Amino acid sequence: MRVEKNRRSATVWRSDGIRLEVNFFLSPYAEHHSGKELILDILNSDKMFIPVEDIHNGVILSLNKGSIMFLELPERDLLDETLMARKNSYRWN
């Protein structure tokens, strides 16, 4: 049985100074909220090791969550309901 996963890229800085550009494997459905699984869900899970894919060579790594010092995302990774609604501008005559 094949499990569908979405890839989400991020740059990870580890405590040993190594910088990795990786893809996280995310489920189309989150376990604890509606919508898709987020990187934040994985980081908040009780799993100590996270499978990630090195973007440059396709190697699958087992990343120790305790070694992550900083994470940079190319775009926001939040639930849709947490994003601020766009304001409409009106012109009054």
pLDDT at 90 > cutoff 50? no
From the list 8, 14, 86, the residue with the least C-alpha distance to 42 is: 8
Distance CA 18, CA 32 (A): 31
Residue 91: band (very low, low, confident or very high) from pLDDT cuts 50, 70, 90:
very low
Reported as a single tens digit per residue, the pLDDT across 9-38 is 999 999 999 999 999 999 988 888 888 899
pTM: 0.76
pLDDT of residue 76: 67
Domains and CATH numbers, the chain: 6-76 (2.30.30)
Residue 80: band (very low, low, confident or very high) from pLDDT cuts 50, 70, 90:
low
Reported as a single tens digit per residue, the pLDDT across 59-78 is 999 999 999 999 998 876 65
Average pLDDT over residues 70-87: 64
pLDDT of residue 20: 97
Distance CA 89, CA 93 (A): 13
pLDDT of residue 4: 80
